[in-house]
A and B are shown apart, each in its own frame.
Chain A
Amino acid sequence: MAEQEKAKSPKRIPVVRTLKLSEDGTRGVFIGKRCRNCHEYLMGNPVFCLNCSSQEFDSVEFSTEGILRTYTVIYVPPPGWKGDVPYILGSVELPEGLEVTTEIIDCPKEALKVGMKMKLVMKVGGQDAEGNELIVHKWQPVNQGVKK
């Protein structure tokens, strides 16, 4: 019976394994490691530090806000893209020093500005064969919503 119940409510599964979702699946955070030797931050669950090959790490959760470093507006999407066209891609630098590139939402392209603050939000990107919701991460301007 428990199994049947589970089958009814679709699970929310992040498409990238470096993302950890909250219990209700509405919020997400990037998880990773900080190298104990060189102190660099790494996404996910590396076995070796990509900088110094150390295997000694502390687990970390990354900041969910960062600074927009560059962007592009895509008019011809790659095969497999299921979202709107055109759409915006942006590279956001986290305080930990890494950049994360993904779609920017809720931002008219005229308002895009390198240096603006962005925050991480979760959206449903598609479904898998079992009907589970595939969760993708997006960037959204921090001041979005203030105007409304």
Chain B
Amino acid sequence: MSAKPAREVVVAGIGLHPFGRFPERSIESMAGRAVLEALKDAGLTYPQIQAAYFGHVYFHGMSMGEGILGSLGLTGIPIYNVENACSSSSTAFEMAYWAVAAGVYDIVLTFGAEKVPRGPVSVTPEASPARLLGTDHMMASYALRARRYMEEFGAPVEAFAHVAEKAHRNAVHNPYAQFQKIFTMQEILGSRMIADPLTLYQCCPTSDGASAAIICARNVASKYKLNEKRLVGIAGMGIKTSAFEDRNGEHIITLRTAKEAYEMAGLGPKDIDVVQVHDAATNAGIFQLEGLELVERGKGWVAELEGQTEINGKIPTNTDGGLQAMGHPLGATGIRMLHELVTQLRGEAGARQVANAKIGIAENSGAGEVCTVIILKK
């Protein structure tokens, strides 16, 4: 059931506030910086923006998008605040896309920002019975999937740890990453156990950060004097939530979402040059490659250990460090993935550049469950 856009839409500008811990900075100032960077990247000014879609999870008062953008100018544009767990900003991006594709707006800002409280992330409110059961534990649900996968396909824990090791090696070349240093396999496997088999350095950090992207209809690019060479096309997308068939912990949701995105783009897994997946826990960095059908089910761990997911491998994955090394400011993560894809497809990724990258795919998971898949094409 893939949809057909009425006109072509492109990414015109991208911006990030570094991910990490910034106790002295407000969410407004972080988001503002990412938005200003995206405007500058596109060569636009804020009054040219016709609508804004803001993804976030934690509540810091009502109408946060209005609060953030109010300091850039009171232009009276519609501002949509979107919450969809860790998929919030990719969801905002998809909504913005369809509004432009349908001709409602020509140029739209879409952004995400978050300051995540320290400690484990919980889905339910404090008084929920799940707290007494001990089951509301994000990393526990990843660990349960990890064990199931190890049992079914014989994957060793080293394959999961390698996802983090690779991510950190990539992030050494990324000034926006929360961690910009090498972690050895020994350090990763030897770090404190969180939820067996996942050690601390196989669980992404939670973070502060912000991301922004400006999208527009391709047919208005010249009117706004955009640099055509740096525009990146939005080729396909999908968004799905849990279905009855997903109820026993398998990751069928990504398969369903990716199928829709591939169909819309008229592309398949073989066409993909660069990949972003939601590696909140290392094992997800492998499962999601299988969900995107970039590797056969049960073979993702082999591909990981063989080096296929390296920057110079067959399926370069999480080239900016992914959630493991970039960090995870929930509502900012989805657009952060697209930021990296755009950087790669423009050929501006420097030391972490994938050679001849023309088509990229980003998969962003959220509790709920939610899955978004977005395909960009140069």
Contact = CB atoms under 8 A, between A and B. Distances in A.
Contact of A70 (B129, B145, B192, B194): B145
Contacts of B24: none
A101 B135 contact: yes
Interface stretch (B33-41, B243-251, B267-275): B243-251
Contact of A74 (B140, B247, B248): B140
Contact of A76 (B126, B133, B144, B194): B194
A73 B151 CA distance: 15
A109 B302 CA distance: 28
Contacts of B197: 72
A70 B132 contact: no
A87 interface: yes
What size tier do the contact residues of chain A reach? 35 or more
Nearest to B242: A50
Interface in A61-79: 69-79
A136 B144 contact: no
Nearest to A70: B148
A148 interface: no
B370 to A, nearest CB: 17
Interface of B: 119-120, 122, 126, 129, 131-137, 139-140, 143-148, 151, 192-198, 244, 247-249
B248 A78 contact: no
Contacts of B151: 70, 114
A16 interface: yes
A72 B144 CA distance: 6
Given A69-B148, A72-B143, A72-B147, A83 B120 contact: no
B134 to A, nearest CB: 5
A72 B196 contact: yes
Nearest to A76: B194
A16 B131 CA distance: 11
Contacts of A71: 144, 147
Interface stretch (A4-12, A24-32, A91-99): A91-99
Contacts of A79: 119-120, 122, 126, 131
B131 A80 contact: yes
Those 5 A-B pairs whose CB atoms lie nearest each other, nearest first: A80-B131, A72-B143, A15-B129, A70-B148, A73-B196
A80 B135 CA distance: 11
Contacts of A75: 192-196
Given A79-B119, A89-B140, A99-B248, A15 B133 contact: yes
Contacts of A82: 132
Interface of A: 15-16, 40, 50-51, 69-83, 87, 89, 91, 93, 97-99, 101-103, 109, 114, 125-126, 134, 136-137
Contacts of A83: 134
B134 A74 contact: yes
A72 B195 contact: yes
Given A93-B248, A114-B151, A72 B132 contact: no
A78 B244 contact: no
Contacts of B135: 89, 101-102
B195 A73 contact: yes
Contacts of B244: 40, 50-51
Contacts of A73: 193, 195-196
B139 to A, nearest CB: 8
B136 to A, nearest CB: 5
A99 B37 CA distance: 47
Contacts of A70: 144-145, 147-148, 151, 249
Contacts of A50: 244, 247
B58 to A, nearest CB: 15
Nearest to B127: A80
Given A72-B196, A73-B196, A75-B194, A102 B133 contact: yes
Contacts of A109: 196
Contacts of B147: 70-72, 114
| A69, A97, A99, A126: most-surrounded residue (chain B CB, <10 A) | A69
Given A70-B151, A72-B144, A75-B192, 15 more contacts: A15-B132, A69-B148, A70-B147, A71-B147, A72-B143, A72-B196, A74-B194, A78-B131, A78-B134, A78-B137, A80-B131, A87-B134, A91-B148, A103-B134, A134-B129
